[in-house]
Amino acid sequence: MSQLKVYNSLTRQKEAFESITPGHVGMYVCGPTVSGESHLGHARPFITFDIVYRYLLHLGYKVRYVRNITDAGHFEEEGREAEDKISSKAILEKLEPMELVQKYTNLYHWAMLQFNNIPPSIEPTATGHIVEQIVMIEKIIADGYAYVANGSVYFDVAKYDADFSVKGSPYGMLSGRILEDMQEGSRELDNQEEKRNKADFALWKNAPPEHIMRWVSPWGEGFPGWHIECSAMSTKYLGQQFDIHGGGMDLQFPHHECEIAQSTVCNHKTPARYWLHNNMITVNGKKMGKSYGNQIKLTEMFSGNHPALEQAYHPMVIRFFILQTHYRSTLDFGNEALKATEKGLKRLWEAYTTSQEMNVGNNHAAADAALDEKVRKLVEQFDEFMNDDLNTAKVVANMFELVPVINGIKDKHIAADAISTNTLSLLQRQLKVFVEDIFGLKSEEEYNNDGKLDGVIQLLINMRKEAKDKKDYVTSDKIRTELAALGIQLKDDKDGNISYSFA
RNA sequence: GGUCCUGUGGCCGAGAGGCUAGGCAGAGCUCUGCAAAAGCUUCCACAGCGGUUCGAAUCCGCUCGGGACCUCCA
């Protein structure tokens, strides 16, 4: 089998993946800031890296997957002005800051569950690692790469760049920018006068009196800077250098760039070997994000309760929508596209279910050698495509090519012995592995079916069958029509059975 | 202004020198008591203009369009 290759943002090319410790992988992914509700755009990295996680497990690695929760510091409430930090929001809602954070953390966890994302091995919080962050900042100061100003601490980017460029780690190495180029276009920010250079970034911020979230530090009461938590927590749980660091492309600069600088000063090596970045979800070609006010919250996606939505979309539909494109391409949101995904997923899932119930028979020689070969190839390519920078889109395309074959066998349109037992069982096995274990798809029915419903529907199906046998089409059509009105679709199969699905 | 990405059929999207994915929608047919589902067939592409090449959607140049980052951001 081919070897896994991933596109490394650091080197701008696909590279063979080799873990530092054979058999083990350490992966860090930037998690959410829990000052507000997650939106559709947030779903992408968490689903993308869930696939990465699942695929690495499939390859047999033991993976420690760390995904943080940013619940402290300097961040903004969605839809509010810049100065409206978590603290003032808390006052408005008469909530403790941690109460607010808890609320959105719970909501986030709920959404992750809806998507069938496997929880990370460790989910550290920024507030739980204030000490680690302070220790790290002290080390950076001691090494001379940070300075204190009015109770805040800033990272000295110019000095870092000068000293580490010669060691092969210039500031900007990840995002491909050169320090001098960046000076001109940057805008005015608060407290710029405290910084020696515009490019310097905060490691620790002095807390103004009204800021409720504050901790004692060697520099006075304040809160950690925007980037230090990831450096502190990834080092703590994954070591000075680990295998994969993931996140959205918009985090590449400055967030990941700053992480590299901080960690490199402390640990003398680039923190992660492979940097993976997923692209954005767009709306009419524009990134879905705070700044554009075009985001659709996940609760709205699931309920359909948003002006831009023509209907509700099931979490599995969204998951599949994301899988149908390569993670490094933008993905344009649209009702038409989502509906197409919904229909496609339904067709795929039904064929998948059929494939798992199929009797593989016992014939060694395929009657239709060409078809047998085609099926085998389509299945074998699953691994090949995933190994090529996790190309889920191509795997999905192959799965769809297998659908007519599966349905054809079911309908007896394709002879039972056309495909060998070997190939059929390979198909069964690999479909299950990829559909359920790696893609993490699951039946929509599982969400709202407690088992009793199935019994009731089977009863109605039997009644319809009896009516049909008696040519009592009035009764049989009534059962079918009224169930359809409830969103349950009956289908007369070729073999005389009746199956159903939820519309 | 700087750095970088991108432009594929009605829509969403793979592909990245020759074999021209896939899904949805449209059209026709088959099966069926009817319908649905399913199956089969089919229409519709590589922004424009040049260049390289035996051959370009794919490489190069220009033009036009879209976008990301440089500020919190997945």
Average pLDDT over residues A145-151: 93
Q: Mean pLDDT of all residues in chain A?
A: 89
Tokens of A77: 């409430």
What pLDDT was estimated at residue A237?
97
3-state secondary structure A114-158: HCCCCCCCECCECHHHHHHHHHHHHHHHHCCCEEEECCEEEECHH
- What single letter denotes the amino acid at residue A51? I
Q: Give the other-Cβ count within 10 Å of A44's Cβ.
A: 22
Give A187-236 pLDDT, tens digit per residue.
445 556 788 888 899 999 998 876 778 899 999 999 999 899 999 999 99
Q: Pick the residue with more confidence: A450 or A290?
A: A290
A290 is in an annotated binding site: yes
Confidence of residue A99 (pLDDT cuts 50, 70, 90): confident
Largest CA-CA distance found in chain A, in angstroms, rounded: 90
Of A residues 122-181, those with CB within 7 angstroms of nucleic strand B are 175-178, 181
CA–C1' gap, A400 and B30, in angstroms: 21
> Is the pLDDT confidence value at A80 over 80?
no
CA A207 → CA A26, A48, A347, distances in Å? 34, 36, 55
The one-letter amino acid code at A295 reads: Q
pLDDT > 70 fraction of chain A, expressed in percent and rounded: 91
Q: Of A22-26, A178-182, A359-363, where does mean pLDDT reach its minimum?
A: A178-182
Q: How far is CA A294 from CA A31, A103, A207, A282, in A?
A: 21, 23, 31, 9
Check residue A82 and give its pLDDT.
Answer: 37
Q: Which of residues 192-251 of A touch strand B (CB under 7 A)?
A: 198, 201, 226, 247-251
> pLDDT-derived band of residue A409, with 50, 70 and 90 as boundaries?
very high
- CA–CA separation, A236 and A122 (whole Å): 11
Q: Binding residue per annotation — A258?
A: no
Is A297 annotated in a binding site? The answer is: no
**Bases on strand B under 7 Å from any protein CB:** 1-4, 10-15, 21-25, 31-40, 66-74
Complex confidence, ipTM = 0.94
Predicted confidence at residue A453, as pLDDT, reads 83
The predicted structure's pLDDT at residue A87: 58
Q: A18 pLDDT exceeds 70?
A: yes
Confidence class for position A499, pLDDT limits 50, 70, 90: confident
> Using CB atoms within 10 A of its CB, is residue A217 exposed (0-12), middle (13-18) or buried (19+)?
buried
Q: What is the pLDDT averaged over residues A126-137?
A: 95
**pLDDT at residue A65 in the model:** 98
Which among A258, A199, A210, A264 is positioned nearest to A235, based on CA atoms? Answer: A264
> Of A36, A86, A103, which is closest to residue A297 (Cα–Cα)?
A36
CA angle A427, A432, A437 (to 5 degrees): 140
Let me know how long chain A is. Answer: 503
pLDDT band per the 50, 70, 90 thresholds, residue A91: low
Q: Can you list the alpha helix ranges (DSSP code H) found in A226-313?
A: 228-238, 257-267, 298-303
Whether A286 contacts A294, CB under 8 Å: yes
Express each pLDDT in A423-482 by its tens digit: 999 999 999 999 999 999 998 666 556 678 888 888 999 999 999 888 999 999 999 999
- Give the domains, in start order, of chain A with CATH numbers: 5-145+155-183+226-278 (3.40.50.620), 303-438 (1.10.730.10), 449-502 (no CATH)
Which residues, in sequence order, are bridge partners of residue A277?
Answer: A247
- Going by their DSSP bridges, the two strands A242-248 and A272-278 should be labelled as parallel
> What's the DSSP call for residue A393?
H
Which of residues 29-48 of A have CB within 7 Å of strand B?
30, 32-33, 41-42, 44-45
pLDDT at A185 over 50: no
pLDDT digits (tens, 9 = 90+) for A31-56: 999 988 999 999 999 999 999 999 99
Find the mean pLDDT for residues A295-300.
95
Task: Return all residues near A187 (Cβ < 8 A) that are at least 6 apart.
Answer: none
In the predicted structure, residue A90 carries a pLDDT above the cut 50: yes
Tally of CB atoms within 10 A around A189: 9
Strand B proximal residues, A:309-338, Cβ < 7 Å? 324-326, 329-332, 334, 336-337
> In this model, does residue A81 exceed pLDDT 70?
no
- In eight-state DSSP terms, residue A193 is G
pLDDT at A176: 84
For residue range A413-428, list pLDDT tens digits in order: 899 899 999 999 999 9
CB A502 within 7 Å, strand B: no
Over residues A154-162, the mean pLDDT reads: 93
